[in-house]
Amino acid sequence: MKAIDLPARVKLHNDTKAAMTQIAEGKLDEAQKTSAQMLKDVGRTAVQAGIEARLAFERKNPTRARELLAEALKMASPGDLMLIRLAIDLARKIGDNKFTEDVFRIALEMVPSDAAVRYAAGGYCYRKGVLPAARAHLEAAVNLRPRFIDAMRDLAILYFEMGERDRAVRVLRRACEFDPKVRDKILEIGNQRYKIPNFAGAIQAYELSVAYEPLFSSAYSNLGSVYRQCCHFEKAERALKKSIMIEPDNSGAFYNLGNLMKETGDLAQSIRSFRRALVLRPDEPTFHWNLSLALLADGELREGFEEYEWRWQTSSFPTKKRALKQPEWDGSPLEGRTLLILAEQGIGDALQFLRFVPAAVERAQAGKKKGRILLEAHEEILEVYSDYKSMVELVPRKPGEEPKFDCHYPQLSLPLMLGIDTVEDLPKAPYINAIGPERFPVPGLDAGKLNVGIVWGGNPAFPGDDIRSSKVEHYLPLFGLDGVQCYSLQKGPREADIAQAPASLVPLSKDIKSFADTVSIVRQLDVTVTTCTSVAHLVGGMGCPVFVLLSHNPDWRWLQHRDDSPWYPSARLFRQSEPGDWAGVIERVGAALSDLRDAKGIS
């Protein structure tokens, strides 16, 4: 490489900045031209090779990017800061830990006194969990640049996590003297960790916030929320009440308290808290949505379903409201019009609310001129709906490909339309009747045993499924009960878990092709044991015996503080006494199965 005079160095510096800006803006062709001009002006340099490496990475060639970056580092001179910073950033993007460590080693040898490099090294060591090294680098960064706010912030967090809380608060206080927004940045770090989720890390950030500012209401509110997620309910309640005491108009704290009280089973306090949050922010959809869940869990169906209509405005709601040009049905007789009843949410929801279709049909057809009613259904359960062919036309659920209709109505809004006030008003099961045992005869079924269907989990993609679903290993005590024969009805991603079960569990799963097959099998069994899945609603809707295994804070439809279900009179509910206690649930289920076996006269 030829020697570069001062004017050429200045131009090289400016061209490097220009190329990096072009890359950041996605103007790769322009950056390539700038790099080519740099090569023409001053020849091959370390920083020009670094730019070529970054371009290779942006063009989805990380192997070539690594080769070019390694070449650039060999050409680099001590103090070549622009290249070093480019190299650190690119190495992290490439994602090869060994290569990244090599880049940091070279960087620290070449520019050991650059605060930004030491800060980057501190962050890298922190993410690897090497806290002493992270501490040394962050301390060096702060010493090299006394007003390095980001380094001071991260050093405060690190001190706090290493148990040096007083020192952490002193560093944070010093950082806030330079920039008061650092306090809120600590809170935001906690929020980011919460979302990942990294609950332990979020707790550390929130606790540092309140250690620095004991009257920081928002930090206490968020701390209470993450404590709830970790099932530290007493700590959560203290933090949330402290937040409200500091700021009586903190709507978020009342909302978080409502969620906590619902999870701990105090529905009255939960409802009061949500109502208070809504006084402060009456148009917040999430507050209305969670109030609805508490009301429905308390059996207050009329107001619960009124509040449930806010689901469409809640960003986290899994089903989005369809943008249909036709009007929503107003509940009046159709008088020749066509009504489309829309399926929404999951299969279990559709099966649970199928019971309301006959009353809706009666209302829609009450006029002088009959209309058409199209009932939308998930394709997996169309055959299960065959009972309803005499009153509706069944159509598969295909959002965006709906058949022609004049008005529409969502299936889960039907109880509101029909004026359902309490659980005593619910249409009773069975309401799934058409499919019989002849469709899928269970091979080798022994009438001399208690025959039990087993489902241990739902869809892992469903939010909160890790809490509501069990594991096949938890069911092992049931598989060895004398006089009891268990059959696997598990479908979906968890079906493969049967490999962890003993041979005594008969694997019907592999031959089950549809929900209609499951209906046929269930009719031949004495009882079905399942967690909160679509099968629970299927069997309950059939009016067949079902044991439903529930987490400590189950979905609203199972209500609270009871072991029966007004939605499904044939169901028995087995709830966790504390979070995660599937062993206790299975022990009680085992005793109940033994009682059924004895009642059947099996010795």
Are 524 and 441 in contact, with CB atoms under 8 Å apart?
yes
Tokens in use for 143? 């010493």
> Among 66, 113, 114, 112, which residue's Cα sits nearest to residue 91?
66
Who has greater pLDDT, 92 or 465? 92
Pairing of strands 372-377, 338-342: parallel
Helices 28-42 + 6-24 axis angle, to 10: 170
Least confident of 103-107, 351-355, 361-365, 518-522: 103-107
Using the structure block, give the residue that is written with the tokens 């979070």: 579
Are 378 and 349 in contact, with CB atoms under 8 Å apart?
no
How many other β-carbons are positioned within 10 Å of the β-carbon of residue 293?
21
Residue 213: its pLDDT value, please?
96
> Does 3 have pLDDT greater than 70?
no
Are 343 and 377 in contact, with CB atoms under 8 Å apart?
yes
* Average pLDDT score over residue span 167-184: 96
> Does 568 have pLDDT greater than 50?
yes
0.85 surpassed by pTM: yes
**pLDDT band, residue 38 (cuts 50/70/90):** confident
> Does 179 have pLDDT greater than 50?
yes
> How many residues are listed for the chain in this entry?
603
Residue 489: its pLDDT value, please?
96
> Does 1 have pLDDT greater than 60?
no
> Among 385, 316, 321, 318, which residue's Cα sits nearest to residue 345?
318
Residue 6: its pLDDT value, please?
66
Percent of residues, the chain, with pLDDT higher than 90:
84
* Average pLDDT score over residue span 304-327: 93
Are 313 and 394 in contact, with CB atoms under 8 Å apart?
no
Mind listing the pLDDT tens digit for each residue in 342-384?
A: 999 999 999 999 999 999 999 999 999 999 999 999 999 999 9
Residue 4: its pLDDT value, please?
59
The SS3 assignment for 558 reads helix
Are 79 and 48 in contact, with CB atoms under 8 Å apart?
no
Q: How many CA atoms lie less than 13 Å away from 51 in the CB half-sphere?
A: 29
Residue 63: its pLDDT value, please?
93
Residue 5: its pLDDT value, please?
63
* Average pLDDT score over residue span 254-279: 97
Taking domain 437-599, whether its CATH number is 3.40.50.2000 is answered by yes
> Does 587 have pLDDT greater than 60?
yes
* Average pLDDT score over residue span 9-27: 85
Residue 162: its pLDDT value, please?
96
Who has greater pLDDT, 96 or 249? 249
Long-range interactions of 555-563: CB distance < 8 A, separation 24+: 555/468, 556/293, 556/294, 556/296, 556/297, 556/304, 557/296, 557/352, 558/297, 558/532, 559/297, 559/298, 559/299, 559/423, 560/265, 560/267, 560/297, 560/298, 561/265
Residue 577: its pLDDT value, please?
92
Pairing of strands 393-396, 546-550: unpaired
How many other β-carbons are positioned within 10 Å of the β-carbon of residue 13?
12
Residue 557: its pLDDT value, please?
95
> Does 306 have pLDDT greater than 60?
yes
| DSSP conformational letter for 327 | P
**If you average pLDDT over every residue of the chain, what do you get?**
94
Domains of the chain, by residue range, sit at 338-425, 437-599
Residue 359: its pLDDT value, please?
97
Mind listing the pLDDT tens digit for each residue in 475-515?
A: 999 999 999 999 999 998 889 999 899 999 999 988 999 99
> Does 464 have pLDDT greater than 80?
no
* Average pLDDT score over residue span 555-575: 96
> Does 21 have pLDDT greater than 70?
yes
Mind listing the pLDDT tens digit for each residue in 204-231?
A: 999 999 999 999 999 999 999 999 999 9
